[in-house]
Amino acid sequence: MDLMSLKDISPDQVIFWQWGWASINATILFTWVIMILMTVGSWLVTRRLSSGPEVPRWQNLLEVVVSGMRRQIEEISQEESGTYLYFVGTLFLLIFVSNILTLVPGYVAPTASLSTTAALAICVFAAVPVYGILTRGLGGYLKQYVRPTPFMLPFNIIGELSRTLAMAVRLFGNIMSGMKIAAILLAITPFIFPVVLHAFGLLTGTIQAYIFAVLAMVYIASATRAQKGKETEENSEKPEKGEKQ
Amino acid sequence: MDSVSLIGMASILAAGLTMGIGAIGPALGEGRAVAQGLSAIAQQPDETNNITRTLFVGLAMIESTAIYCFVISMILIFANPFWDHVIQAGG
C-alpha cells in the first residue's frame, strides 16, 4: 500500500526502472514474481511425487486443487475437462494467487491494472474461436454467428467484443476498488476498519478469480457445444416419434 | 469562474452523482437475485451447489454495472483527462 499513493489508480504508474522506452513498472514486476513463485513452487512439489499410501502434504494440496478445478469444469461444460483445464485452470490460478498475495505488505496486485486484465480478457477472446474451430470446424463455428437469422450478425459480433470489455473492466474494477477503499479508510479511520475491508477484499478477490474462470469456461463451452446440443435434441426427438408410431 | 475550478466542480459533482445513481439499479437487482436464490435453496436443498454457483456468477454480472460506475467516478476524480489538459494549457 505504501508503493502507490492515493492518487495513482493503476500500478502501471509506479515505475521502478527506466531506460529509454523500456521501463519496469509494478505490474510487470509483480506478475513475474507470481509466475516465478508458482513455477518454482510447483517444480519443488512435483520433484518427488509418490503414489503410495503416504502422500507428501504439498502434493496432496496440488492434487486437491487440480482435481477440484477438473470437477468444476466438468460440471459447467458437461463434458471431459481435457484441454480446457490447461487454459481455464491457468487463468484461475494466476488471478487467484495475485489477489490472495495482497496479504503481503508492499505488494500491489497486478490485476488492479487495466493492462493485465485486458490482456487476460483478450486471451479468452482469442481462445473462444480456437476451441470452437477445433471442435466444430471453421464452417460450423462461423455458422453460429448467423444462428437465428443473418440480421443478428452485427449484434453477435458486438456481443463478443463487449463481453471481452466487460470481463476486463469487471476484474480491474473489483480489485482496484478494494485497494482504493482500503487506502482511503486507512487515511480516515486507521486500526480496525481497514483490516475488516482487507478481509472483505480477499473474499472479493477469490470470488472474482472464480468468476473469471467460470465465464471463460461458459464462453468456450457455448462456442463448442451448440452443435452437440442440436444432435442430442434430434436424438431425443426420434424415440418420441417412434413411441407415437 | 475560470475553467480549472469549473472542471473541478463539474467532475466532483458528476463523480458523486455517478456513484449515487449508479448504485441504485445493481443494489435492487442483487437484492432480488439473492432473495430468489435463497428461496430456491430453501425449496430444493439438494441443488444448493448448482444454485450457489449460478447465483455467484449472476451476481458478478449484475455487479459489473456498479463497477463501471465506480471506475468512471475514479477516473473523474483521480485521472481526469480534461483536468490535465486545462492545467497544461493554462500553464
pLDDT tens for B20-47 read 999 999 999 999 999 999 999 999 999 8
| pLDDT over 70 at A237, yes or no | no
List beta partners, residue A23: A18
* Cell numbers representing residue B85 in the block: 489538459
d(C-alpha A76, C-alpha B4), whole Å: 52
Confirm if A185 and B83 have CB atoms less than 8 A apart. no
The full set of domain ranges for chain B reads 3-90
Q: How many CB pairs (< 8 A) connect A and B? A: 43
Confidence of residue A238 (pLDDT cuts 50, 70, 90): very low
What secondary structure does DSSP assign to A139-200, as a single string? HHHHHGGGSS-GGGHHHHHHHHHHHHHHHHHHHHHHHHHHHHHHHHHHHHS-SSHHHHHHHH
How far is the CA of A104 from the CAs of A2, A107, A185, A199, B41, in angstroms? 12, 6, 18, 13, 37
Identity (one letter) of the amino acid at A136?
A: R
Whether A78 and A137 have beta carbons less than 8 Å apart is answered as no
Between CA A135 and CA B66 the distance in angstroms is 36
Name the pLDDT band for B91 (thresholds 50, 70, 90).
low
Contacts of A80 (CB under 8 A, 6+ apart): A74
Of A98-102, A141-145, A204-208, B15-19, where does mean pLDDT reach its minimum? A141-145
Residue with cell 461458459: A218
Give me A180's grid cell.
482504493
Nearest-by-CA chain A residue for B60: A211
**Neighbour count for residue A231 (Cβ, 10 Å):** 9
Collapsing DSSP to helix, strand or coil, A113 comes out as coil
Among chain B, residues having any CB pair with chain A shorter than 8 Å are: 50, 53, 56-57, 60, 63-64, 67-68, 70-71, 74-75, 78-79
Q: Which residues of chain A does B63 touch, with a Cβ-Cβ cutoff of 8 Å?
A: 170, 174
CATH architecture of B3-90: Up-down Bundle (1.20)
Contacts of A88 (CB under 8 A, 6+ apart): A69, A73, A213, A216, A217, A220
Distance CA B48, CA A160 (A): 31
Alpha helix (H) residue ranges in chain A: 26-47, 57-77, 84-100, 114-143, 153-188, 193-244
B71: which chain A residues are within 8 Å (Cβ-Cβ)? 169, 172-173, 176
What is the per-residue pLDDT for A128? 92
Give the pLDDT confidence score for residue A64 in this predicted structure.
Answer: 92
Identify which of A7, A173, A174 has the shortest CB distance to residue B78.
A7
Classify the complex by whether its ipTM is higher than 0.90, answering yes or no.
Answer: no
pLDDT per residue over A47-87, tens digit each? 888 887 888 888 889 999 999 999 989 888 888 878 889 99
B71 and A176 within 8 Å at the Cβ level: the answer is: yes
The CA angle A9-A179-A200, to the nearest 5 degrees, is: 155
**Cβ contacts of A184 within 8 Å, gap of 6 or more:** A6
pLDDT of B87 > 80? The answer is: no
